Amino acid sequence: MGPQARPAGVNVPRGLPQVMVDPVIMERVIANVTANALRYSPGGLPPLLVACAQADRVELRVIDHGPGVPEADRDRIFLPFQRLGGIDGAIGVGLGLTVSRGLTEAMRGTLQPEETPGGGLTMAISVPVARGPAPADLDSAGSREREGIGPTRRQADYAGQPSMARC
């Protein structure tokens, strides 16, 4: 996700329903939101991606413990060319969240910012569940960690963090 790879925790449980999204577009949304979380997270506590089923939707929460965004500015972060806070060496022109929200909404989803309890920002991506039978579970591990796609931290490493309460 940039010149210097940093770890992110990933917890995607087995048995989540299939979702009705374009996989390439959804990957771009997740990459944009995760890149922001990595950019603003302190080095000692990488962001955490947690997924869960919520009625007829699947929610992915990208949780960071960086400086957060004041509630009054949360709508503004989705406006084009907006960059809040001064992070040294930050790249981009302020379009990532604008594009991510638009793409998510085009797939009948939502992208909402929330305060992370204890400090930081949680971006909640919610998308509709696909109708019909789901294919067999291809990965009994239920986690990208088993696929060898870079370092991750298990959910247990974040035990007691209230920001995971919804998933």
Q: What is the pLDDT along the chain (167 residues), one digit of tens a residue?
A: 454 678 899 999 999 999 999 999 999 999 999 999 999 888 889 999 999 999 999 999 999 999 999 998 888 888 887 666 655 455 566 788 999 999 999 999 999 999 999 999 999 999 999 987 655 444 433 433 333 333 333 344 444 444 444 67
d(CA 149, CA 83): 29
Q: What single-letter DSSP state applies at residue 131? A: P
d(CA 67, CA 26): 26
d(CA 6, CA 17): 29
The predicted structure's pLDDT at residue 158 = 42
Could you tell me the sign of the dihedral formed by the alpha carbons of 54, 60, 123, 107, in that order? negative
Cα 74 to the chain's mean position, in Å? 16
Domains of the chain are: 9-130 (3.30.565.10)
Residue 60 near residue 49, CB atoms below 8 Å: yes
Residue type, 48: L
Q: How far is residue 60 from each of residues 32, 69, 80, 156, 157, measured CA to CA in Å?
A: 13, 19, 23, 18, 18
Q: What is the pTM of this model?
A: 0.75
The predicted structure's pLDDT at residue 163 = 44
The predicted structure's pLDDT at residue 73 = 87
